Amino acid sequence: MSTLDMIREYGHEEVYFVNNEKAGLKAIIAVHSTKLGPALGGCRLWPYQNEEEALFDVLRLSRGMSFKNAAAGLPLGGGKGVIIADPSQKTDALFEAFGEAVEKLGGRYLTAEDVNTDTHDADIMLRTTSHVVGRADVSGDPSPMTAIGVFDGIRATAKFVYGTDELKGMKIAVQGLGKVGLDVAEQLHAAGAELIVCNRSNRKVMEKVVGEYGAKEVAMDEIYGVDCDIFAPCALGAIVNYETIPQFKCKAIAGAANNQILDDACGVALKQRGIAYAPDFIINGGGVINAGQEAFTTYDKEKVLAQVHNIYNTVYGILEESKASGEPEGVIAQRFAENRIRNGL
């Protein structure tokens, strides 16, 4: 499939390829929709194998941001930026150049921190563009709010599947212990859950979770087949796929990762296996609710928390509708978001 065909398939308005040789920047900015407002989505830095892999990721992520922002009731469209680099290659010049690229879009795209970027990097972008949210001096790192929403979504999923949102004694497998995954693990431990965890890197974090929370560590490729009550993917996307679906030994999937299900057919297959799914762009919306408020009103933490805690109700409602209709949860969630985009909030 050609690049233009991919862009058309996902329904994007604009996609920009950025090459700043002086700064060493290779990046892609994808603007999926601006119907509800400026396209908001973070800047991810990742060592993609090639430009095709980066394009596939940014197209899926930016479309997901359109759905996430609409489902959260935000007057914002969806976009995303990806920088093709290893985290060890971070420089001020890299983020200044990315900021310049954002500035050229004239406010149609609002950026923020994301995987392998943080509030310090966002502050550097502010040297060359004003179109940055999630600023350290305003709403700050969105990860804690994302984790709160994910934890509430896990509780709602447990209530639907097991009849209780008390997590004490439940076995929950957490894939990925980054900023959000670690925070989710901490909340699950505090709630009395038994943790099974894996992480691609950072032994210190793993030692903390195993030593302090009594978690059981498993290898990255073993996490899909562990015997657990809920599987919580908190790393990268497309982990619910043709290879992993037969391995799952859980009754529910609810976690922080974006684009967890590879394609619609995998969503159907998961439903056929009787595994409940908390749609990713619903359950992980806390961070964008937090950062997005900077874009259109004065930041109010209490108001943000109220919106984030409502993720519990949204997740539970989608699970109930899926049970009643037989449709996959992801289909219901996407239709909900698309209707909001089409008809306005």
- Other CB atoms within a 10 A radius of the CB of residue 232 amount to 33
How do beta strands 194-198 and 216-217 pair?
parallel
Determine the residue type at 234. Answer: C
- Residues serving a catalytic function are 80
Q: How far from 239 is each of 19, 83, 151, 278, CA to CA, in Å?
A: 30, 22, 20, 14
Q: How far from 186 is each of 113, 195, 215, 337, CA to CA, in Å?
A: 22, 10, 11, 30
